[in-house]
C-alpha cells in the first residue's frame, strides 16, 4: 500500500492552530514532484513562524502527547455543554459535531417570527443580527457553510465565555416564538 498511499493533513484541528494555514503531505516521490508543480502555482509558502510552531507541535509526541489530550478533553466538555444547552431550547435541533470547534444548530423553527422592536426573523442572517443586538452574542449564518437553516456557534473559547454566551442566548429566547412547531393545544 505504501507505493500508492497519500496522507494529507493539517495542524488546525489537531493542534488548535486555526488560522495558521499549515498543512502537509506525505507520499511516495513519484507523486510529490507533480503535486509540487501544481501546489506551487496555487498557494504560497507557509510563514516561518507557522512552520516553527508546526515543528514544535509535532515534537509533542504521539498524538500530540498529554498537551493535546488535555486540549481534546476540554473541547469535548465545551462541545457537550453547548450541545446540551442548545438541545434544551424549544424548536432548536442540534447534533454533537465531530472534528470541529463549532456546533451547527438548526433554528429554522423561528423563521417567520416577528419580534417587537426588532422585526421579523426571516432567515439565519436576521436571526444572527437578533442575537447580536439583543444578547450581544456573535454567530455566523449557515448559508455560507451549506445550510441556510443553521447558524455556526464556536466553542473555541473558554468554558466561562461559552456559559456566558448561552446564558445571554437563553435570556432572549422568550422574545422568540417558534413558528413551525406543532401546536400543543
| CATH number of the domain bearing residue 165 | 3.90.1150.10
Give the tens place of pLDDT for each residue, 141-162. Answer: 999 899 999 999 999 899 999 9
pLDDT for res 154: 93
Give the residue, 180 or 136, on which the prediction is more confident. Answer: 136
Cα distance between the two ends of the chain: 62
Query: Is the same domain home to 136 and 75?
Result: yes
166, pLDDT greater than 60: yes
161 in the same domain as 76: yes
Whether 47 and 71 share a structural domain: no
Cβ–Cβ under 8 Å, residues 99 and 72: no
d(C-alpha 24, C-alpha 39), whole Å: 11
SS3 114: strand
Statement to judge: residues 77 and 141 lie in one domain:
yes
- Which pLDDT belongs to residue 44? 66
pLDDT at 35 (0 to 100):
84
What is the tally of structural domains in the chain?
A: 2
Average pLDDT over residues 137-141: 95
Q: How many CA atoms lie within 13 A of 108 on its CB side?
A: 10
For the stretch 118-134, pLDDT in tens is 999 999 999 999 999 99
pLDDT at 101 over 60: yes
**Chain position carrying cell 443586538:** 133
Residue 78 has pLDDT above 60, yes or no: yes
Q: Which of 28-32, 91-95, 104-108 has the lowest mean pLDDT?
A: 28-32
Residue 38 pLDDT class (50, 70, 90 cuts): confident
105 and 39, same structural domain? no
Q: Which residue has the cell 445550510?
A: 147
Which tens digits make up the pLDDT trace of 41-71? 776 677 888 889 888 888 888 878 888 889 8
Is 108 in the same domain as 144?
yes
Residue 98 has pLDDT above 50, yes or no: yes
Per the DSSP assignment, residues forming a β-bridge with 26 are 7
Within 13 A of 126's CA, how many CA atoms are on the CB side? 14
Q: Residue 183 — pLDDT band, cuts 50, 70, 90?
A: very low
Give the residue carrying C-alpha cell 435541533. Answer: 93
Amino acid at each position: 500500500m505504501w507505493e500508492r498511499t497519500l496522507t494529507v493533513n493539517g495542524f488546525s484541528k489537531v493542534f488548535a492552530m486555526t488560522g495558521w494555514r499549515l498543512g502537509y503531505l506525505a507520499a511516495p516521490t513519484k507523486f510529490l514532484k507533480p503535486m509540487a508543480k501544481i501546489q506551487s502555482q496555487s498557494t504560497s509558502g507557509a510563514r516561518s513562524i507557522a512552520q516553527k510552531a508546526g515543528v514544535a507541535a509535532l515534537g509533542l509526541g504521539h498524538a500530540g502527547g498529554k498537551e493535546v489530550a488535555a486540549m481534546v478533553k476540554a473541547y469535548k466538555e465545551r462541545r457537550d455543554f453547548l450541545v446540551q444547552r442548545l438541545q434544551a431550547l424549544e424548536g432548536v435541533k442540534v447534533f454533537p459535531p465531530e472534528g470541529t470547534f463549532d456546533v451547527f444548530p438548526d433554528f429554522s423553527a423561528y423563521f417567520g417570527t416577528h419580534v417587537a422592536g426588532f422585526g421579523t426573523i426571516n432567515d439565519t442572517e436576521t436571526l444572527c443580527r437578533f442575537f447580536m443586538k439583543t444578547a450581544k452574542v456573535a454567530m455566523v449564518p449557515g448559508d455560507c457553510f451549506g445550510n441556510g437553516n443553521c447558524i455556526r456557534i464556536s466553542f473555541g473559547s473558554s468554558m466561562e465565555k461559552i456559559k456566558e454566551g448561552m446564558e445571554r442566548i437563553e435570556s432572549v429566547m422568550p422574545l422568540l416564538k417558534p413558528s413551525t412547531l406543532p401546536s400543543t393545544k
